[in-house]
Amino acid sequence: MALDTHQQDKSGLDVAQLRADTRGCTEVVHLNNAGSALPPSVVIDTIVEHLRLEEMIGGYEAHARAGDRINTVRDSIGALLDTSGSNIALSTSATDSWDRAFVAIKFASDYGPDTRILASSSEYASNVLPVMQLSRHLGVQLEFIPDDETGVTDVGALESMLDDNVAAVLINHCPSQNGLINPVAAIGHALARAQSNAWYLVDACQSVGQLPVDAVAVGADFLSVTGRKFVRGPRGTGFMYCSPRALSELEPFPADLHGTTWTPDGYTMRSDAQRFEAWEKSYAAVLGLGAAVDYSLALGMDAIFTRIEFLSGALRSMLAEVPGVAVLDRGVDKSGIVTFNHESVEAAEIVAALKNAGINVSVGTPEYSQVDYIAHGVSSLVRVSPHVFNTVEELERCVEIVSDRTGSATARY
Ligand SMILES: Cc1ncc(COP(=O)(O)O)c(C=O)c1O
């Protein structure tokens, strides 16, 4: 649902309060929330407080004192994903989550040249590279699912590709290099309709925290998420949703003594998603992640996405008026990730000009998602990713700099 320039923010959020809650707003215009968002101050205060406790009484003792709160972080994340905390495993990044799922699937399977793994065309490099390794060493076939005419994963095409040899389906919910939103729930339904045994892995790294995600409705076996992007948690945190099927059929490999107990007769595993966790964690970071999730829950995911949609829609409208700029975002429904390039000015030069003006955005290049970049003839792009605390004035300033750097005047929003 794209916004036009006449639409207003209907989120009901108190932007002045959101900015007061976010200390970094006084320093920078941060439009790189798809990279690593500005956290609310409560996140950093929570982390520092726990680190101070570790300093004063010892790490294990600080953990014991925070005990209950640490355990309820998984419940908060479960609430964010409309599921139970027992289906949530903590990790250190989206890739860490993904790898734990992927290795467990591989450990339970007998892969060979007949094995097929299907992936969305916008898949993130770290999700594709392990499959390429399996291709090189075991002959596994990696196949990319075509996009439909709107530019998102074509559900019908995926259905026609399914057979008993498809071991896994990998879908990027919101790519980092495009504002599209892939139809992950429709894909989940298609897999169920086809009674496919393929494991369904959804990369929800860029979607969770900016839009409502119902893990069960998506129908995925795993959803992998990072803490530092739209969730606004600390760096070095992540988590994943594990489906009941994943928990009943898969073992993490290698097992860690957090989720697996060495018994006199062998070993036993936890039945909940903690079986996928490592014993050692930064508990300060985990608590900070919990504070970030609770902050989002208090605002409400519908309100958060309404504001992000408003800001990103307004930004796309303004950018579209700058001569020579092409807004690259595909799909009918769009995320808060706004991507564009210019017919004659390099993306890196635009990003540098914005940086000089105190505006953080990022540059995208093909090694993050080769298939997507090649298919659309894009060699680099500028990515602008607003969050709830950004303002229309900040976006106007951003577009002014783009306009100046690319040598043209732009209409005021
Ligand atoms: C879509 C997507 N998936 C996965 C990742 C990897 O996340 P992490 O660096 O937390 O492993 C990123 C990071 O930018 C991403 O944008």
Instruction: Classify domain 15-38+301-405 by CATH architecture.
Output: Alpha-Beta Complex (3.90)
Query: For 251-296, what is each residue's pLDDT tens digit?
Result: 999 999 999 999 999 999 999 999 999 999 999 999 999 999 999 9
> Is beta strand 88-91 parallel, antiparallel or unpaired with respect to 238-242?
antiparallel
Cα–Cα distance measured from residue 221 to residue 243, given in angstroms and rounded to the nearest whole number: 5
* Rounded distance from Cα 240 to ligand 1 centre (Å): 13
Q: Report how far ligand 1's centroid is from the alpha carbon of 242 (Å).
A: 18
CA proximity to 145, closest of 175, 163, 169: 169
Mean pLDDT, residues 359-384 taken together: 95
Of residues 272, 208, 194, the one with CA closest to residue 239: 208
Averaged confidence pLDDT in the chain: 96
The helix/strand count (H/E) of the chain reads as 15, 15
CA–centroid distance, 94 to ligand 1, in Å, is 6
Q: How far is CA 344 from CA 41, 324, 329, 347, 359, in A?
A: 40, 7, 19, 9, 21
What digits encode the pLDDT tens for the residues 184-243? 999 999 999 999 999 999 999 999 999 999 999 999 999 999 999 999 999 999 999 999
pLDDT reported for residue 67: 85
Mutation probe of ligand 1 site: the residue of 99, 173, 201, 206 with most atoms within 8 A of C-beta: 206
Q: Rounded CA gap, 247 and 69, in Å?
A: 24
Q: Looking at residue 6, what is its pLDDT?
A: 57
pLDDT (tens digit per residue) in 154-195: 999 999 999 999 999 999 999 999 999 999 999 999 999 999
H/E stretch holding 231: none
To test the pocket of ligand 1, the residue of 33, 95, 181 to mutate (highest count of ligand atoms within 8 Å of its CB) is 95
Pocket mutation for ligand 1, best pick of 33, 226, 339, 365 (most atoms within 8 Å of C-beta): 226
Give the atom of ligand 1 at the shortest distance from the alpha carbon of 97: 11
Indicate the helix (H) or strand (E) that contains 89.
strand 88-91
> What pLDDT is stored for residue 3 in this prediction?
44
Sketch the domain layout of the chain as residue ranges.
Answer: 15-38+301-405, 44-298
Sign of CA dihedral 75, 78, 83, 87: negative
Is a pLDDT exceeding 50 seen at residue 412?
Answer: no
Architecture field, domain 44-298: 3-Layer(aba) Sandwich (3.40)
10 Å CB burial of residue 400 (0-12, 13-18, 19+) is middle
- Asked if the model's pLDDT at residue 1 lies above 80, the reply is no
Alpha-carbon distance 51 to 67, whole Å? 15
Rg (CA), the chain: 22
Residue 323, preceding bond cis, omega within 30 degrees? no
Please give the distance, rounded to the nearest whole angstrom, from the Cα atom of residue 109 to the centre of ligand 1.
Answer: 26
**Residues lining ligand 1, judged by CB closer than 6 Å?**
93-95, 124, 126, 172, 175-176, 203, 205-206, 226, 238
pTM, 2 dp = 0.95
